[in-house]
Each structure stands twice: as C-alpha cells, then as structure tokens.
Amino acid sequence: MPFSDNDNKLINKMKTEAPEFYDLFMRTCNIYECQASSASHDILNHITVLHGTLQVLEHRSNDIKHDPVWMNFSKALHSLIDYINTTSELRYSRHCNKSYFDILDILWNIPLNLDDMFETIGETHSRNYRLDFPEQFPLVYADCDRINSALLAIARNAVEATDEGDDIIISASLDDNVLSVVVTDYGCGFSEDALSHVFHAFESEKTGHAGVGLAIARAVASAHGGSVSITPLATGTSVTFSFRI
C-alpha cells in the first residue's frame, strides 16, 4: 500500500537513524508483497477459468445473457476481476523498469485504452475527449507500463465522475524537463471529506470500487520523482500528474 507523505518522512528518518530497523522493515514489506502476489495470482487463476466458462455458456445459449440472475452474476464476476486487477496495479506501482519511450504513444491512446478497460468489466461509456498535446516530446526515461497505468487511473476517475457525452480534457506540457499531464472533467467533483483522503488506498465514496486509482497514480509519480495534485473546480476536478524526464 502506498505510504502517506508523513509515513515517507518517518521511513526516511528510520533509514538514516536506525538502518538495521529500516532493513528489517523493507524485508518485511517484500515478504508481504510476495505473499500478496502469490495469493492474488492463485485467486485470479480460478476466476479466469470461471470467466472462460461463462463466455462459453453465453456463446452456446445467447438467451442466457438476458436472464436477470445471470446478468447479476456476470456483473459481480467482472467487478471481482476488475478489483483484483486494480489491486495488482497498486502492488506493483512502486516497482519501475525504466526505458526510453515516446510518451505520446500513451497519451493519444488513453481514450481507446479506456474503452478496452470498461469493455473488460462489461461496461460501456461515451465521453467527448479533448486532447491537447505538442507535436512531439523528448523521449521519456521511465516505466512505460506504470506511467500508462497511472494516467489511465486518473482518466478513469474522470469518466466515472461524468455522464454520457460530457467533456474530458487531457493536456500535456513540458517545462524545465518536468512533464505534466492534466486531466480535467466537469463532473460531480470530490466532497471536502473525500479530498482529505483521496490518495488513500481502499477508500472510496463510490460503491463497488476498490478505491485505488489515485493511490496508484501517486505511487507511480513518487517512484519517478514526481507528484500528483488535485485542483477542485466549481463544477468538476483537475488532476495534474507530473514527473521529471
């Protein structure tokens, strides 16, 4: 689970003043991550088999998809798959495998990747994406998969805060070697209480959600020496993801 800013200060203090305890703490974290990874993998294997069986049955009997009990079961299964997948993203969000890549390959494909994401969990959405990027950026040295996951998490949050046909603006800029991607929506926004713990994992005002999206984005940004900030609007929210390239 990503640590808060205060947690990171305490960990850094422990690293300096009590390195033996810091080493024990990090080894304990690694053991926990390995156990969590193994458990999630085993669970996902069984769910994948179940999901495959469901698809075979739907293919053989198309009418079954319209049965209320079947529809509820299918929705619950897709939600469970989504929960495990997003939780897995959180677990790996601080583990970076950096290489050079073109960030525009990620930015231009955000709408398409969101469509694929929602299709995977059996949902559809239609938003008016307004993309504003320079013609080119310098190659970025970062973890392409993690950056992509972070930006999709932020954009997904914007989708879930808006309605069909609403605008979502995604822009990017480079200033003094700091790349900033801004996702702006004009949806329901965050309540004052939600803003106080918006980056805390597994805390969400939305029913049926893992509540890890912005926690993933923050952990990825931190692992790349960057940050995520949220600006509440009169109607909507603007989220800025920044990191030094």
| 209 pLDDT above the threshold of 70 | no
Per-chain mean pLDDT for the chain: 81
Same domain, 146 and 232: yes
| Residue 112 banded pLDDT, cuts 50, 70, 90 | very high
More confident residue, 86 or 133: 133
Same domain, 108 and 192: yes
Same domain, 42 and 148: no
Same domain, 233 and 153: yes
| 41 pLDDT above the threshold of 60 | yes
| 245 pLDDT above the threshold of 70 | yes
Given 92, 123, 155, the domain boundary residue is 92
Rounded Cα distance between 195 and 202, Å, is 14
Q: What is the SS3 assignment for 142-203? A: ECHHHHHHHHHHHHHHHHHCCCCCCEEEEEEEEECCEEEEEEEECCCCCCHHHHCCCCCCCC
Reported as type and span, the H/E element at residue 239 is strand 236-244
More confident residue, 207 or 187: 187
Same domain, 70 and 115: no
Amino acid at 192: E
Which tens digits make up the pLDDT trace of 214-236?
A: 888 888 898 899 999 998 888 88
Same domain, 106 and 203: yes
Structure tokens at 46: 């069984």
Contact 117, 156 (CB under 8 A): yes
Average of per-residue pLDDT across 21-30: 81
Contact 155, 187 (CB under 8 A): no
Contact 213, 153 (CB under 8 A): yes
Q: What percent of the chain has pLDDT over 90?
A: 29
Q: Give the count of domains, the chain.
A: 2
Amino acid at 222: S
The model's pTM = 0.67
Residue 1 has what pLDDT? 47
Same domain, 120 and 87: no
Given 92, 114, 135, the domain boundary residue is 92
Same domain, 59 and 12: yes
Same domain, 30 and 130: no
Structure tokens at 51: 């999901």
Given 69, 92, 115, the domain boundary residue is 92
Same domain, 83 and 27: yes
Q: Which residues span the domain enclosing 40?
A: 5-92
| 13 pLDDT above the threshold of 80 | yes
Same domain, 216 and 114: yes
Which tens digits make up the pLDDT trace of 149-173?
A: 899 989 988 998 888 889 999 999 9
Contact 134, 108 (CB under 8 A): no
CATH of the domain at 139: 3.30.565.10
Work out the number of other CB atoms within 10 angstroms of the CB of residue 239: 22
| 241 pLDDT above the threshold of 90 | yes
Total residue length of the chain: 245
Same domain, 112 and 221: yes
Rounded Cα distance between 244 and 238, Å, is 20
